[in-house]
Amino acid sequence: MALKDAGNQVDEAFTRKGLRGKSYENAFAGATSFLRRRYTKDLAGVDIAVTGVPFDQAVTNRSGTRLGPRAIREASTLQTSDTPYGWGYDAMEVLDIIDYGDMAFDYAMVPEFPGLLSEHIRTILAADVASVVLGGDHYISYPILRAYAEKYGPMALLQFDAHTDTWADDDMDRIDHGTMFYKAIKQGLVDPARSVQVGIRTTVPDPMGVTIIDAREVHEAGPAETAKKIRGILGDAPTYLSFDIDALDPGFAPGTGTPVWGGLSSGQAAIMLRDLAGINIKGGDIVEVSPPFDSTGATAVAGAHVATALICLLGWDKRDR
C-alpha cells in the first residue's frame, strides 16, 4: 500500500477490513474516525479503544471543548499514512485499535453524567482494553479515574497542565474542572506520592503531596531531564496520563478555555512523552481542546499528536509481538 492507494480508499472508518495498518485515504475526505480506525462497539481482541467524551459543562471560562473530539479526529487524518515519528515502531501496524465512538449522554441531565462516564469506561476496562479519551473539559478525568482505580487500585497521576486542578472543594457532587483532582486524591483514587504535575504556571495553596514540575523548571532543565525526573516519581505504579492542552503555551495551542502564558512548547511535550516509554501506563486522555478559539486548527493537531503518543506509550510492551 502507498499514497497512490488514496484512489481506492474512502470511509475507512467503516470499510477497513482489519484493525491494524496504515490508511492512505485522502486526509480531506471521508468519515473522520481517529487515525481512520474502524468505528465499532466490539471490544473483542482489541488493545486500545479511542473514545470521545464531548462534555464541557464544568468549565470556568470559555466553553467549546464539546467540539474537541470531532476536531481531534479530523486532525488525526494527517497522521494515518506515516509511522509515528521517533517511536521505533508503528503502533498502527502492531496494535488492534478501534474508535469506540463518543459516549452518549443527555446534555440536560448534568448530574447523571459522572456515573454514566464511569460506567462507559468500566465497559472498556472489563474487556481488558485500555482507553484513550478525547475530551471534553478536564472534569472528565475524575469519573474516568474512578473506573481505573476500581480495576488497578490508587493510580499514579501524570498530569500535563497549566493548572493543578486541586482547588479545595469538599462537595463531591459539584462538577467543576478545577477541583476534580482534589476530590480524586481525597477519595483515594490517586496516590499523590507517585503523582506529578508538569507545566504548571498558576499558584496553588496546597499541592496535596503531588510533585509539581512547573513550566519554568521544564524550560531550565530541558524536556529530557524532566522526563527522567518524572520516571523516578512514577516508578512502576499503574499510571493514568492526563494531558490538558493548556499545558502548551497559547502560542502553540490557542484553542483552549483557560490559556496561560509561559507554557510548554509542542517540541518539549513531544520529547517528554517519547522519553516516558516504558512507564506502567494503563490509560489516558487529551482534554480542553476548544476548536472555536483556534481558526488555524493547530490546537486540534497538537491534541491528535498527544493522543497518538498515548497510544504509542500504551503499546510499548507489545511493540515486538
Q: For the segment 68-120, what is each residue's pLDDT rounded down to a tens digit?
A: 999 999 999 999 999 999 999 999 999 999 999 999 999 999 999 999 999 99
User: What is the pTM for the complete model shown?
Assistant: 0.96
Q: Which amino acid is at 279?
A: I
Mean pLDDT confidence for 209-231: 98
DSSP-derived secondary structure letter, 279: S
- Going by C-beta distance under 8 Å and a sequence separation of 6 or more, which residues neighbour residue 318? 47, 94, 95
Q: What is the pLDDT of residue 4?
A: 66
CA–CA distance, 182 with 305 (Å, rounded to integer): 28
Q: How far is CA 113 from the centre of its chain?
A: 19
Mean pLDDT confidence for 237-244: 98
Please answer whether residues 24 and 80 qualify as being in contact, where contact means their C-beta atoms are separated by less than 8 angstroms. Answer: yes
How buried is residue 129: exposed, middle or buried, by Cβ count under 10 Å (0-12/13-18/19+)? buried
pLDDT at 264 exceeding the cut of 60: yes
Q: Which residues are annotated as a binding site for Mn(2+)?
A: 138, 161, 163, 165, 244, 246
pLDDT one-digit tens code per residue, 46-73: 999 999 999 999 999 999 999 999 999 9
Q: Where are the beta strands (DSSP E) in 103-234?
A: 130-135, 156-160, 196-200, 211-214
User: String of b and e for 277-291 (b: at least 16 CB within 10 Å)?
Assistant: bebebbbbbbbbbbb
Q: Where are the beta strands (DSSP E) in the chain?
A: 48-53, 97-102, 130-135, 156-160, 196-200, 211-214, 239-244, 281-287
CATH superfamily of 3-318: Ureohydrolase domain (3.40.800.10)
Q: What is the pLDDT of residue 128?
A: 98
Q: What is the pLDDT of residue 123?
A: 98
Q: How far is CA 212 from the centre of its chain?
A: 19
Q: Which residues are annotated as a binding site?
A: 138, 161, 163, 165, 244, 246
Q: What is the pLDDT of residue 267?
A: 98
pLDDT at 5 exceeding the cut of 90: no
Q: What is the pLDDT of residue 1?
A: 52
Q: What is the pLDDT of residue 255?
A: 98
Please answer whether residues 265 and 309 qualify as being in contact, where contact means their C-beta atoms are separated by less than 8 angstroms. Answer: no
Long-range contacts at 1-6 (CB < 8 A, ≥ 24 apart): 3/81
Provide the 10 A C-beta neighbour count for residue 128: 10
Residue 134, CB half-sphere, CA atoms under 13 Å: how many?
37
- Going by C-beta distance under 8 Å and a sequence separation of 6 or more, which residues neighbour residue 174? none
Which pLDDT band, with edges at 50, 70 and 90, does 2 fall under?
Answer: low
Selection from 159, 244, 223, 161 nearest residue 195 by Cα = 159
Q: What percent of the chain has pLDDT over 90?
A: 92
> Residue 52, SS3?
strand
Which pLDDT band, with edges at 50, 70 and 90, does 7 fall under?
Answer: confident
pLDDT at 149 exceeding the cut of 90: yes
Cell of 284: 489516558
What are the boundaries of each domain within the chain? 3-318
Mean pLDDT confidence for 16-21: 93
Q: What percent of the chain has pLDDT over 70?
A: 98
Q: What is the pLDDT of residue 205?
A: 87
Cell of 180: 476534580
Mean pLDDT confidence for 155-162: 98
